[in-house]
Chains A and B, each alone.
Chain A
Amino acid sequence: MTGQWTQFLAGGFTTGAIYALVALGFSIIYNASRVINFAQGEFVMIGGMSAVTFVGLGAPMPVAIVGAVLVAGLVGLLLEALAVGRARKADVVTLIIITIGASILLRGLAQLVWDKSIHGLPPLSGNEPIAVFGATILPQSLWVLGVTLVTVVALSAFFRGSRLGKAMRATSYNRLAAELVGIDVRKVLFFSFGLAAMLGALGGVLIAPIAFTSWDVGIMLGLKGFAAAMLGGMGSFPGAIVGGLLLGLLESFGAGYLSSAYKDVIAFALLLAVLLVRPDGLLGAARSDRV
């Protein structure tokens, strides 16, 4: 049954890539502030829905994609500037609740700005399925994988080469030390939110032609992206990717061979397992706490 197997594999990698993008967003913000940004999923939604609006206004897809990503980036920056940045000194749980509030607020706004229906986006290069090893794969899936790959490579280069990227890495290793060498940690947090939002939005735009988008698509995607980040190791760049892909595959095969009704449970069951067995995730370093 290689056909079916390959089908699950392809599907798994596709959703996995989206989870990876969302997970990267979580990790980037976590690295800058130790905060779990519950609004991450809403950036995915904003990306998809904004693209729908741009396309509706007549923009060609590439423009709509860029536009949607920028809109989400802006929202991310606003979120940091108006809310998270202000409460920076508060404890982690307070900050988490603020981001939960933000996610609810964004969803409420989305209901008004757009509507409650489900929307689709035209695929980037047509709907003709491609036959691969007995499975049929949508061209859009290849776009998802391709663009994610390019993004990951670009991000890698950014973190290694650019000044801001290096500043972000330094902050993630040791915030105090970064401050002491003159890195503006506040600015790092600010841009982290922007970057995380753009990554989420990119995922939303890429997946919309396949899985559609709507005002409430962010909750589940956000939570699953979070589970993926925890699985790979919260704060770890390769971990986010590994976690995302792994979750996508497990979901795909789980839904195929076990039960499709409980597909969503897989992510959360994994999350619980990770928390109880190895909270630092697969690629996170196991820490020893000093009292």
Chain B
Amino acid sequence: MGMLRVEQLSRRFGGVQAVDDLSFATRSGSVHSIIGPNGAGKTTLINLLTGVYRPSAGRIVFGELELTGQPTHRFAAAGIGRSFQTPQIFFNMSALENVMTGRHLHEPGSLLAAMLRTPGLLRSERACRQRALELLEFVGLSTHAAASAASMPYGALKRLEIARALAGEPKLLLLDEPAAGLGPTEALEIGALIRRLAQAGTTIVLVEHNMRLVMDVSDQVLVLDHGRKLAEGDPARVRQDPRVIEAYLGAEANREHADARD
């Protein structure tokens, strides 16, 4: 359950190798963070792990399912949910409806039942609304339920996305920079939310720049640089890894060195 296995995953765009021969695996109910300097391929990786991009090479296996090359909605059906770096909210709906939509796979899909508004459908709609309200409560957005998503502030949108992703009852949740653009208090709240989710059994993979958050919540940290795995392990050890330090500070150090020469 929640076992993601990535084998020699690669993706190139024209001449750019965005992700290069990457292999790793996740453990159920744990929090994995993926860090790395800008352009390291983190968002590309998330897009690969949710089927938004197709890999150029390698395999993605989730539980017993071979997900390599499958369309995005199959990844969702397998139990993988995600949030986006820049919130991709359904602005033409209310906050509540956004979360209800997240439950799509658990909802009756019958066209006829929908058009005829059968009692069964109405019952399931009530249950769906209930669940969505609970999730909004969980992420602290219950006051926004009936509000148009387009009117919500940025921080609220990030939490709305998480609520929407949770509505699908994912086994694996991928969060792309959930703390980006948030102040320190809000970032702490996101961290608490993540820990709570992990305790409940959801595997979380987190792409983040906020080092404090990463160190606080992660069980495992994976460092990417130029699309390749640079280091992997528990937070404290990775933080002290000289290669990691160089990757982040390398540009600085090189420039200083060059300046010193002239």
| Touch A–B, Cβ below 8 Å | yes
Interface residues of chain A, those whose CB is within 8 Å of chain B, are: 288, 290-291
Q: Are A290 and B52 in contact (CB under 8 A)?
A: no
Give 5 CB contacts A-B under 8 Å: A288-B13, A288-B14, A290-B13, A291-B47, A291-B53
Q: Which residues of B contact A291 (CB under 8 A)?
A: 47, 52-53
Complex Cα–Cα for A288 and B13 (A): 8
Give a binary string over B1-31; 1 marks a CB under 8 Å from any A CB, 0 the rest. 0000000000001100000000000000000
Complex Cα–Cα for A290 and B47 (A): 11
Q: Which residues of A contact B53 (CB under 8 A)?
A: 291
Q: How far, in Å, is A93 (CB) from chain B's closest CB?
A: 15
Q: How far, in Å, is B98 (CB) from chain A's closest CB?
A: 20
Q: How far, in Å, is B207 (CB) from chain A's closest CB?
A: 16
Q: Which residue of B lies closest to A290 (CB)?
A: B13
Q: How far, in Å, is A220 (CB) from chain B's closest CB?
A: 37
Q: How far, in Å, is B87 (CB) from chain A's closest CB?
A: 15
Give a binary string over B32-75; 1 marks a CB under 8 Å from any A CB, 0 the rest. 00000000000000010000110000000000000000000000
Q: Which residues of A contact B13 (CB under 8 A)?
A: 288, 290
Complex Cα–Cα for A133 and B94 (A): 72
Complex Cα–Cα for A288 and B11 (A): 13
Q: Which residue of A lies closest to B14 (CB)?
A: A288
Q: Which residues of A contact B52 (CB under 8 A)?
A: 291
Q: How far, in Å, is B168 (CB) from chain A's closest CB?
A: 20
Q: How far, in Å, is A288 (CB) from chain B's closest CB?
A: 7
Q: Which residue of B lies closest to A291 (CB)?
A: B52
Q: Which residues of A contact B47 (CB under 8 A)?
A: 291
Complex Cα–Cα for A288 and B14 (A): 9
Q: How far, in Å, is B187 (CB) from chain A's closest CB?
A: 26
Complex Cα–Cα for A290 and B43 (A): 12
Q: Which residues of B contact A288 (CB under 8 A)?
A: 13-14
Complex Cα–Cα for A31 and B47 (A): 31
Q: How far, in Å, is B92 (CB) from chain A's closest CB?
A: 14
Q: How far, in Å, is A167 (CB) from chain B's closest CB?
A: 27
Complex Cα–Cα for A291 and B47 (A): 9
Q: How far, in Å, is B156 (CB) from chain A's closest CB?
A: 24
Complex Cα–Cα for A290 and B14 (A): 11
Q: Which residue of A lies closest to B47 (CB)?
A: A291
Q: Which residues of B contact A290 (CB under 8 A)?
A: 13
Q: How far, in Å, is B192 (CB) from chain A's closest CB?
A: 31
Give a binary string over B197-217; 1 marks a CB under 8 Å from any A CB, 0 the rest. 000000000000000000000
Complex Cα–Cα for A261 and B222 (A): 67
Complex Cα–Cα for A59 and B118 (A): 73
Q: Which residues of A contact B14 (CB under 8 A)?
A: 288
Closest 6 CB pairs of A and B: A291-B52, A290-B13, A291-B47, A291-B53, A288-B14, A288-B13
Q: Which residue of A lies closest to B13 (CB)?
A: A290
Complex Cα–Cα for A288 and B56 (A): 13
Q: How far, in Å, is A237 (CB) from chain B's closest CB?
A: 24
Q: How far, in Å, is A194 (CB) from chain B's closest CB?
A: 36
Complex Cα–Cα for A291 and B176 (A): 15
Q: Which residue of A lies closest to B43 (CB)?
A: A291
Q: How far, in Å, is A226 (CB) from chain B's closest CB?
A: 30
Complex Cα–Cα for A290 and B16 (A): 12
Q: Which residue of A lies closest to B53 (CB)?
A: A291
Complex Cα–Cα for A291 and B52 (A): 8
Complex Cα–Cα for A74 and B47 (A): 49
Q: How far, in Å, is A290 (CB) from chain B's closest CB?
A: 7
Q: How far, in Å, is A13 (CB) from chain B's closest CB?
A: 39
Complex Cα–Cα for A288 and B53 (A): 12
Complex Cα–Cα for A290 and B18 (A): 12
Complex Cα–Cα for A291 and B51 (A): 12
Q: How far, in Å, is B103 (CB) from chain A's closest CB?
A: 24
Q: How far, in Å, is B70 (CB) from chain A's closest CB?
A: 16
Q: How far, in Å, is B75 (CB) from chain A's closest CB?
A: 14
Q: How far, in Å, is B210 (CB) from chain A's closest CB?
A: 24
Complex Cα–Cα for A124 and B52 (A): 59
Q: How far, in Å, is B228 (CB) from chain A's closest CB?
A: 21
Complex Cα–Cα for A15 and B13 (A): 42
Q: How far, in Å, is B25 (CB) from chain A's closest CB?
A: 26
Q: How far, in Å, is A144 (CB) from chain B's closest CB?
A: 42
Complex Cα–Cα for A291 and B72 (A): 13
Complex Cα–Cα for A291 and B18 (A): 13
Complex Cα–Cα for A291 and B14 (A): 14
